[in-house]
């Protein structure tokens, strides 16, 4: 498939600023021929996309992104081509959403108690009424009410100081759920750990082998935040372990300085064998 690909983007269903309908329009304008919406802990956006797709529109793949953690760190697991009605997917979505809502309420309470940051009750109600509120939504409120000058400052200096180590899916839970739902589990932006942590070399190899033991099938080799050196290192690991290869920008609209379609895969004709296998095997709409 010699087309432009972007398999990692977020809508207003999670922490993006574009609605699913707007995402589809922007995907078409960007000349992307195959895309996936990977909202955090949610499949609603994919359902909306499928409803509005018309003949001649870009090919679409169901996607989702789960935030996971274990004693060794943090992982983001992408799921592709799953059946959203599968019991395992429903269970995963329900569990991750409950944890997300507990964390958002806990963060608001901690920011109030530790730092004195308060917001009008109507703003809090609107925040909690969102499909999947997260850190960027709180950060936007902090900027709006003058507690910080930027969203980045709000998240790094304050919001990230409020931690909930017990409110995370285990990576094996996310991987198993995606597999049982007929999908392909992929490790998102593999080199990125918690905060500014960068995982390289033997540590990356060890982490990857652990996830392979749980059933991981692919890695996001082409990613907007990766240098050529990082891409080449991850491609080498993908080839060593015969993994699927994916490409994603991690576009969030106005919530991140990432351009839709910016994956680092500049020429689709140069896609590696692992990506060609992924495109052959994935279930597309």
- Domains and their CATH numbers in the chain: 4-88+170-281 (3.20.20.140), 95-161 (1.10.150)
Task: Write the CB contacts of 157 (distance below 8 Å, at least 6 apart in sequence).
Answer: 148
Average pLDDT of the segment spanning 5-22: 96
Query: In this predicted structure, what is the pLDDT of residue 285?
Result: 63
**Residue 257: alpha-carbon gap to chain centroid:** 15
pLDDT band at 254 (very low <50, low <70, confident <90, very high): confident
Residue 183: CB partners within 8 Å, gap ≥ 6? 62, 79, 80, 81, 82, 83, 89
Angle at 18 between CA 48 and CA 35, to 5 degrees: 60
Is the predicted pLDDT of residue 77 greater than 80, yes or no? yes
Q: Is the pLDDT of residue 172 over 90?
A: yes
> What is the C-alpha separation between 137 and 274, in angstroms, rounded?
36
pLDDT tens digits for range 24-51: 999 999 999 999 999 999 999 999 999 9
The tokens for 248 are 């994603």
- Three-state DSSP at 56 gives coil
Q: State yes or no: pLDDT of 283 exceeds 80.
A: no
Q: Is the separation of the CB atoms in 52 and 76 below 8 Å?
A: no
Question: What integer pLDDT is reported at residue 1 of this predicted model?
Answer: 61
Q: What is the mean pLDDT of residues 53-60?
A: 95
In this predicted model, which residue has the larger pLDDT, 168 or 194? 168
Contact 157, 141 (CB under 8 A): no
Inform me whether the pLDDT recorded for 2 exceeds 80: no
Q: What is the pTM of this model?
A: 0.91
What is the band of 280 on the pLDDT scale with cuts at 50, 70, 90?
very high
Report residue 182's pLDDT band, with 50, 70 and 90 as the boundaries: very high
**pLDDT, mean of residues 213-219:** 98
Q: What's the pLDDT score for residue 270? A: 86
Dist. CA 38–CA 250, nearest whole Å: 9
Cα angle at 135 between 32 and 17, to 5 degrees?
35
Average pLDDT over residues 86-104: 93
Quick one: which H or E segment has residue 255? none
b (16+ CB within 10 A) / e for 225-244: ebeeebbebbbebbeebebb
């Amino acid at each position: 498939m010699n087309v432009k690909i972007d398999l990692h983007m977020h809508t207003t269903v999670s922490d993006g600023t574009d609605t699913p309908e707007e995402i589809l329009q922007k995907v078409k304008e960007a000349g992307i021929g195959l895309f996936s919406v990977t909202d955090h802990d949610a499949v609603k956006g994919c359902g909306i996309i499928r409803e509005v797709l018309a003949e001649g529109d870009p090919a679409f793949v169901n996607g989702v992104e789960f935030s996971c953690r274990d004693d060794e760190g943090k992982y983001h697991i992408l799921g592709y081509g799953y059946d959203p009605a599968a019991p395992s997917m429903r269970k995963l979505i329900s569990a991750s959403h409950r944890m997300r809502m507990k964390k958002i309420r806990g963060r608001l309470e901690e920011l109030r108690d530790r730092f004195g940051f308060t917001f009008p009750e109507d703003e809090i109600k609107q925040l909690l009424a969102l499909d999947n509120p997260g850190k960027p939504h709180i950060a936007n409120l902090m900027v709006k009410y003058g507690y910080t000058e930027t969203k980045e400052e709000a998240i790094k200096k304050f919001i990230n100081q409020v931690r909930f180590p017990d409110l995370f899916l285990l990576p094996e839970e996310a991987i198993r759920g995606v597999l049982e739902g007929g999908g392909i589990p992929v490790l998102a932006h593999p080199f990125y750990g918690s905060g500014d942590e960068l995982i390289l070399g033997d540590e990356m190899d060890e982490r990857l082998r652990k996830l392979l033991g749980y059933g991981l099938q692919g890695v996001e080799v082409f990613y907007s935040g990766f240098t050529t050196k990082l891409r080449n290192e991850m491609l080498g690991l993908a080839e060593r372990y015969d993994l699927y290869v994916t490409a994603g920008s991690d576009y969030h609209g106005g919530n991140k300085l990432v351009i839709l379609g910016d994956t680092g895969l500049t020429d689709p004709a140069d896609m590696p064998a692992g990506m060609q296998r992924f495109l052959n095997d994935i279930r597309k709409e």
